Amino acid sequence: MATIAGTCPLGTLLRNSVSENNRKNSVVHYEGLRLPQRTQIPSSLTTSPSHYISASSSPRCRTIKAMASSSVAAPKREKDPKKRVVITGMGLVSVFGSDIETFYNKLLEGESGISLIDRFDASSFSVRFGGQIRDFSSEGYIDGKNDRRLDDCWRYCIVAGKRALDDANLGQQVLDTMDKTRIGVLVGTGMGGLTAFSSGVESLIQKGYKKITPFFIPYSITNMGSALLAIDTGLMGPNYSISTACATANYCFYAAANHIRRGEADIMVVGGTEAAIMPTGVGGFIACRALSQRNEHPKKASRPWDKDRDGFVMGEGSGVLIMESLESATKRGATIIAEYLGGAITCDAHHMTDPRSDGLGVSSCITKSLEDAGVSPEEVNYVNAHATSTLAGDLAEVNAIKKVFKDTSELKMNATKSMIGHGLGAAGGLEAIATIKAITTGWVHPTINQDNLEPSVTIDTVPNVKKQHEVNVGISNSFGFGGHNSVVVFAPFRP
């Protein structure tokens, strides 16, 4: 039995500086709500009760005892076409527009989408830049009356969702011929309709409760994206939202895949959406001391793993996948883009914002995701990292990755956030699309602003220039406030 001693510093809400000891030893600030595990896991991969973690009663400082894993047979991937989950469509709204090819080409070019905020007067804010979406159009997807009422969070969701359905050849005429009770929607958000909520509170304070719009509550609550998309398309399968901060979209992928594997749905429209670049959102993260303050050089602000990083950059948008059973996709002759092999979610159970110093939450999440996928660590050669450009989080994630992948010589690891900022609840959706595009194109996008790399980061971060790389298996990491950890696993589809 191995004993791992985990120190538990109180920390500040979000540290702007990290001691040299923490730089060497801290292992992630990450995140995770626990959904039921899929039931169809080969018996050779299941863990016995002796593998569960026990902890001392201290709420802050605890000693973790974990049994070493017993030897298991080589992992086996799912073979049942009813339980294999494939990707048949993708849709997004991003700082680079709403076209998938344009989005990924901009990433490959190493172009930054970060700029000064002009959606509101940010001149008095200590942070005045972000990955703000401009020139967004919902024409053809949302009627004019509803478009004027909706919070941007839901506008992005509906457009990305419908574009994903179109990409999967599931336009409204096709959907009307199908059993819609077998098609679900699961699009989560970390913040919800933040503009709608802030406007409602402002009306209450300035004019009284009678002046609050009747849309205040419906357009604020986090489940409304999934609901509105279902109402528009008539999809009657599983429908709800998940909100686990910046891990949201990956949690949704994991849950949606399990709906398919359990036979509860044939198709799921799934991802994340967020629109928090507004006064309350920006001001709130400034108060957390989480954001970069590089106002003079905003395009240089998001710099994961660089010694000169000083916080993350806010982004926004929506990323949605069509996840479908192989059986369903084959029957309707769908084009299969890639395969979802598996995923996992765990919780640090440590602190609202600080990472565990021992990294157990993240490393165990990666390991569990590979077990669920039927993949050995040696098969993985690409990581789309969470990598937010924070002092503690970037190195913590790398340390956790090194725990799982003993030989990283063939591993490519990049940070999409270096160009589009941190999309919060939408981040995992946009990064899943980037991961899948890496698989289908054979090119991995660069991590920009890599000028002074941390010496402990010995994995290839694809610095500043794209690289040709045939992805065998890729993972996408997302972690969020509350200690929520999530990892999803994608690979090229092979019949």
| Residues belonging to the active site | 246, 386, 422
The letter for the amino acid at 295 is N
Task: Evaluate whether 62 touches 56 at the Cβ level (below 8 Å).
Answer: yes
Contact 34, 346 (CB under 8 A): yes
**Residues for the chain: how many in total?**
495
How far apart CA 415 and CA 418 sit, in angstroms, is: 6
**How far apart are the C-alpha atoms of 139 and 55, rounded to whole Å?**
54
- Kind of pairing between the strands at 85-93 and 62-66: unpaired
* Cα–Cα separations (whole angstroms), residue 423 to 162, 273, 292, 446: 20, 8, 15, 18
Q: Please name the residue that has the structure tokens 């190493």.
A: 110
Give the integer Cα–Cα distance in Å for 381 and 280: 40
Q: Give, in degrees to the nearest 5, the angle at Cα 344 between 338 and 347.
A: 150
Query: What is the rounded radius of gyration, in angstroms, for the C-alpha atoms of the chain?
Result: 21
> DSSP assignment of 11-73, as one string?
--SS-S---HHHHHH-----B---PPPPS---GGGPPPGGGS-B--S-SSSEEEEEPPPPP-P
Separation of alpha carbons 279 and 201, rounded Å: 13
